[in-house]
Amino acid sequence: MIRHITVLGSTGSIGQSTLDVVRRHPDRYRVFALSAARSVDTMLSDIAEFAPRYVVMADAAAAAGLTAQLAAGCQTEVLTGADALAMIASHKDVDQVMAAIVGAAGLLPTLAAAQAGKRVLLANKESLVMAGPLFMQAVRQGGAELLPIDSEHNAIFQSLPEAYDGDFAAHGIDKILLTASGGPFRGWSAEQLADVTPAQAVAHPNWSMGQKISVDSASLMNKGLELIEACFLFNCQPEQVQVVVHPQSVIHSMVQYCDGSVIAQLGQPDMRTPIAYGMAWPGRIEAGVESLDLFSLATLNFEAPDEQTFPCLGLAKQAFSAGGTMPSVLNAANEVAVDAFLKEQIPFTCIPRLIARVMEKHTPQTVTSLDAVLAADQWARDTAAELLTTSDMTEMPG
């Protein structure tokens, strides 16, 4: 049976890895639609290979440029805009949606896929961070299948009992052990972090990721967002999730049980493994990833995260505990802060300071609608942008 897939964020690292898995299984998968922001050259190449029915470019100028360069007779229709993204995510001919748009921009089309009852391959953690209760409700009401693609959550999913229904006690679960590589600055002091450059921050030691996610990994915000995501995915509280720094990134996460057992998922640090698992679940397919050579693994190290030097993890816990619109505010403020850092407008150490200041100014509201989530997101972006122009960031309290 051929399954048709829409890849949201197809020109990024997750999107390209997804297309590589599709490439390996032409008898199983067809690309229905692709989306990107403005990467015209990559999209042209992917259109030539996969012949999608639709392509959506977030940038209107990029859409026009792409259309102008398509070969005569090309059957791919190029669209732009939020409505087009929602359409390719919810179309009746789509079976699976890879949700790999980075940041808040991925929320609306990912939600549309859930509401339409698709198999949602969730690599956009912001959908749950921003609108966790609404998103999980949409999954239930739409009859969607939600498969986590982040390597850590995919590992947790594989390590939980097959019949897990969100009840830790009923399944003898003690806690989730959420692994983190520690990023490029593991073991650094606050003084050392003060002078790091964007180039250093995006140079992840194990994973090939986009700039924004790489900076989040360096600040431990990525782990904070993943902690919030885990709480919604697996129906637990932050105190039931222990972050474990594991520099080798071989164990992708674990589940600890009440009888003393710890079940882990191991593998190469290659996103094609969780992608292939999500696409083929409950079966498994070849992903182009080499198996681990256990004899070549000299050691596996574990340590506690340094939340004092890297306060973003603690800020994420605070946001989840505050509830309501606070996680959305955390995410939006972080996106503004990371963008400012990448543009060399603020130092790395000011990322958590800006986020903390925005959170201090926010009174969380109950999330009763998507409009409330989007309003909080915009408020946080506006507030963070204002702070960037009116505050001496280097003197903001951490």
Q: What is the pLDDT of residue 207?
A: 60
- The mean pLDDT of the chain is 94
- Digit-coded pLDDT (tens) for 31-57: 999 999 999 999 999 999 999 999 999
pLDDT interval class at 391 (50, 70, 90):
low
Q: According to the model, what pLDDT value does residue 297 have? A: 87
- The pLDDT value recorded for residue 105 is 86
Domain with CATH 1.10.1740.10 in the chain: 323-395
CATH of domain 323-395: 1.10.1740.10
pLDDT digits (tens, 9 = 90+) for 209-267: 678 989 999 999 999 999 999 999 999 999 999 999 999 999 999 999 999 999 999 99
Q: What is the mean pLDDT of residues 7-35?
A: 97
| pLDDT of 290 higher than 60 | yes
How big is the chain, counted in residues?
398
Going by DSSP bridges, is the β-strand pair 77-80/54-57 parallel, antiparallel, or unpaired? parallel
pLDDT grade, residue 313 (50/70/90)?
Answer: very high
Please give the pLDDT value at position 154: 98
- What is residue 266's predicted lDDT score, i.e. its pLDDT? 97
**Chain segment 52-77, per-residue pLDDT in tens:** 999 999 999 999 999 999 988 899 99
**What's the pTM?**
0.92
The model's pLDDT over 149-169, given as tens digits with 9 standing for 90+, comes to 999 999 999 999 999 999 999
Which pLDDT score, from 0 to 100, does residue 208 have? 62
Q: How many CB atoms neighbour CB 86 within 10 A?
A: 19
| Structure confidence at residue 126 as a pLDDT band (50, 70, 90) | confident
pLDDT at 330 over 80: yes
Nearest to 232 by CA among 300, 337, 138: 138
The three-class DSSP label of residue 188 is coil
pLDDT recorded at residue 393: 61
User: Which pLDDT belongs to residue 398?
Assistant: 44
Helix ranges (DSSP H) in the chain: 13-24, 40-50, 60-69, 82-90, 107-115, 126-142, 151-159, 190-193, 198-201, 211-219, 221-233, 272-280, 312-322, 326-342, 350-360, 370-390
pLDDT at site 397 = 44
Q: Is 2 exposed, middle or buried (0-12, 13-18, 19+ CB in 10 A)?
A: exposed
* Location of each CATH 3.40.50.720 domain in the chain: 3-148
% of the chain beyond a pLDDT of 70 = 96
Strand partners, 5: 31, 96
Name the residue type at position 313: L
**Token pair of 192, please?**
């050392």
| Residue range 339-355: mean pLDDT, rounded | 96
Confidence (pLDDT) at 104: 81
CATH of 3-148, one of 3.10.180.10, 3.30.230.10, 3.40.50.720, 3.40.50.150: 3.40.50.720
